[in-house]
Amino acid sequence: MEGNEQTAHVALPLKYRPMTFEDVVGQEHVTRTLRNALESGRVANAYLFIGPRGIGKTTLSRIFAKALNCTNPKGVEPCGECENCVQIAAGRSIDVVELDAASHNKVEDVRPIIEAVQFKPASSKYKIFIIDECHMLTASAWNALLKTLEEPPPYVRFVFATTEGDKVLDTIVSRCQRFDLRRIQTHQIAERLRYICGKEGIDAEEDALLAIARGAEGGMRDALSSLDQLIAFKGMKITEEDALGVFGLVSRSALEGLAGAVLKGDAAAILRAVEAFDSAGKNMRRLASELMQHFRNLLVYQTLGGATTGLEATPEQVKTLAEQAKLCDSSRIFRVADQLAAMEDKLRHVLSVRTLIEMTLIRASRLATVASIEELMRAVRALRAAQPAVPPTPVAPVAPAAPRPASPAPAHAVMAPAPSPAAAPAPQLRPPAAAPAPDQPQSRDLTPEEQRQMLDDRRLNDFMGIFKGAKITDMKK
Ligand SMILES: [Zn+2]
């Protein structure tokens, strides 16, 4: 509203619309193939781009059209400056025809295309037809197009785009080269936002950008629109709080705090957090799906042993994942994720989302702190490995190992939660599994024979007896 409006404001999604394949974020599998096709000169007659809205289907179609007709390409990238590039970018090229099938889906609407196909391009190499939301075309419109699609003149190319690939007829799909565009990953969107803020001189908190990216749910266009909106409201400085307010999202740190409470089995903290989110008007369904995402990340992080490829997370999030991964092992995290997945199904039908979330998280937190059979087995194996393999009679050498299982093992309920020291036993138990015990290598991988031996082992049975015996028979299965 103030003085900085001397030049007309251009909306960010428009201003930062990618102009080259290189600029396109999160669709490398598509841009690489298209560039290869252009490089080798093997461009298909028709392409079909499928994917949710706002992830770049139209943008890619135009870049591709520019690349085909550019008079001064840089490699295979369009120059963006020649007459053809400029006209296409503005949607004014007479050789590139765009049709929005959402509003023009009848035979009459495609007839001009069929007629235009007969004439060579006026001022370019190719005549290109871009048909958006092509699934909306009526069957008779498709039929009219089919002949042209089967045998187009050498100077004609088609690009179809749609949000609903399933609704496109098989006969059409089979005549196109098909690309499924992906939702753009949150950290990739955040990265792009950071770049744009730098260009625009906007001071935005890192977590503010993350919040905008989370809110956009994989759509770059939505993310840029939201950033635009926030700049209009807040000016050149944007905090996480501002961004969270727009989407009703929970802050990153609060979300991670809640996940931590689940892992530690802290029911009171869980209830406090959920209460606070609910009274602050946060979107509880989003909270549920973001928690799910967090635990998925945690599981991936742990499974890949700390590798971050395939992880949808910013560097800040990765730091938290590393800390939380130490809290318990993957089988426990899996049980939590399992509970959350079951909750997602119920979310649609439930009346009180808050109650469902509370109950699920408390149940999950209990499961997160109960030792699994695998963990007990590992403990037992570790004990065996720790014992010097010598005469069975001596009492003294066994002593150092013995107190460990004996003292902490409580003689109560079967599902006795391995109490709060959940963090403590895990690191103790893990080493033998990861690094083979030097003196007894057979304690790592058990053949069926070894398993049988182990199940008949008197010491093991004594130890497992503490847990009311049921587990031994479980294991025999
Ligand atoms: Zn050009």
Gap from CA of 158 to ligand 1 centroid (Å): 20
In a domain? residue 350? yes
The residue segments making up the domain with residue 441 are 373-387+417-476
Gap from CA of 201 to ligand 1 centroid (Å): 30
Domain containing residue 222: CATH number: 1.10.8.60
Same domain, 218 and 273: no
Gap from CA of 81 to ligand 1 centroid (Å): 5
Per-residue confidence (pLDDT) for residue 445, from 0 to 100: 60
Gap from CA of 46 to ligand 1 centroid (Å): 22
- In the 8-state DSSP scheme, what is residue 237? E
| Cα dihedral sign, 63-67-71-72 | positive
Gap from CA of 204 to ligand 1 centroid (Å): 35
Round to whole Å and give the CA distance between 327 and 198. 37
**What's the start-to-end Cα distance of the chain, in Å?**
72
Strand partners, 280: none
Same domain, 138 and 216: no
Same domain, 145 and 59: yes
In a domain? residue 396? no
Burial (0-12, 13-18, 19+ Cβ within 10 Å), 201: exposed
Question: 11: helix, coil or strand?
Answer: coil
Gap from CA of 68 to ligand 1 centroid (Å): 9
* Domain boundary pick from 247, 267, 286: 247
Per-residue confidence (pLDDT) for residue 391, from 0 to 100: 57
Residues around ion ligand 1, judged by CB within 5 A, are: 70, 78-79, 82, 85
Same domain, 269 and 348: yes
Gap from CA of 194 to ligand 1 centroid (Å): 28
Same domain, 170 and 65: yes
Gap from CA of 155 to ligand 1 centroid (Å): 18
Gap from CA of 73 to ligand 1 centroid (Å): 6
Question: 330: helix, coil or strand?
Answer: helix
* Domain boundary pick from 368, 396, 428: 368
Per-residue confidence (pLDDT) for residue 406, from 0 to 100: 43
Gap from CA of 289 to ligand 1 centroid (Å): 44
Gap from CA of 77 to ligand 1 centroid (Å): 8
Per-residue confidence (pLDDT) for residue 402, from 0 to 100: 44
Gap from CA of 381 to ligand 1 centroid (Å): 68
Same domain, 124 and 87: yes
Gap from CA of 84 to ligand 1 centroid (Å): 6
Gap from CA of 66 to ligand 1 centroid (Å): 7
Gap from CA of 38 to ligand 1 centroid (Å): 14
In a domain? residue 6? no
Gap from CA of 21 to ligand 1 centroid (Å): 13
Domain containing residue 296: CATH number: 1.20.272.10
Round to whole Å and give the CA distance between 188 and 194. 10
Domain containing residue 161: CATH number: 3.40.50.300
Gap from CA of 126 to ligand 1 centroid (Å): 13
Q: What is the residue type of 5?
A: E
Round to whole Å and give the CA distance between 157 and 149. 9
Gap from CA of 74 to ligand 1 centroid (Å): 9
Q: Is the CB of residue 155 less than 8 Å from the CB of residue 127? A: yes
Same domain, 430 and 461: yes
- Provide φ and ψ at 22, rounded to 5°: -55, -35
Gap from CA of 65 to ligand 1 centroid (Å): 10
Per-residue confidence (pLDDT) for residue 374, from 0 to 100: 77
Same domain, 48 and 90: yes
Compute CA distances 127 → 84, 160, 374, whole Å. 12, 14, 64
Gap from CA of 313 to ligand 1 centroid (Å): 37
In a domain? residue 404? no
Gap from CA of 17 to ligand 1 centroid (Å): 16
Gap from CA of 122 to ligand 1 centroid (Å): 16
Same domain, 222 and 264: no
pTM across the whole model: 0.69
In the chain, the number of structural domains is: 4
Gap from CA of 120 to ligand 1 centroid (Å): 20
- In the 8-state DSSP scheme, what is residue 283? -
Residue (of 325, 324, 459) closest to 382 by Cα position: 459
Same domain, 172 and 292: no
| Number of Cβ atoms within 10 Å of the Cβ of 112 | 12
Round to whole Å and give the CA distance between 404 and 463. 11
In a domain? residue 402? no
Per-residue pLDDT of the chain (477 residues; tens, 9 = 90+): 444 444 578 899 999 999 999 999 999 999 999 999 999 999 999 999 999 988 889 999 999 999 999 999 999 999 999 999 999 988 899 999 999 999 999 999 999 999 999 999 988 999 999 999 999 999 999 999 998 998 899 999 999 999 999 999 898 999 999 999 999 999 999 999 999 999 999 999 999 999 999 989 899 999 999 999 999 988 999 999 999 988 889 999 999 999 999 999 999 999 999 999 999 888 888 899 899 989 988 988 888 877 777 777 888 888 999 999 888 788 888 889 889 989 988 888 888 889 999 999 999 999 888 877 777 888 888 888 887 665 555 555 444 444 444 444 444 434 444 444 443 444 444 444 444 444 444 445 666 676 666 666 666 566 555 554 444 444 444
Gap from CA of 88 to ligand 1 centroid (Å): 9
Gap from CA of 161 to ligand 1 centroid (Å): 23
Round to whole Å and give the CA distance between 476 and 304. 30
Same domain, 207 and 313: no
Same domain, 424 and 357: no
Gap from CA of 255 to ligand 1 centroid (Å): 47
User: Who contacts 312 (Cβ-Cβ below 8 Å, separation ≥6)?
Assistant: 185, 186, 187, 293, 297
Gap from CA of 78 to ligand 1 centroid (Å): 5
Gap from CA of 308 to ligand 1 centroid (Å): 38
* Domain boundary pick from 311, 339, 368: 368
In a domain? residue 436? yes
Gap from CA of 62 to ligand 1 centroid (Å): 12
Residue (of 442, 463, 441, 459) closest to 451 by Cα position: 442
Gap from CA of 453 to ligand 1 centroid (Å): 75
In a domain? residue 160? yes
In a domain? residue 401? no
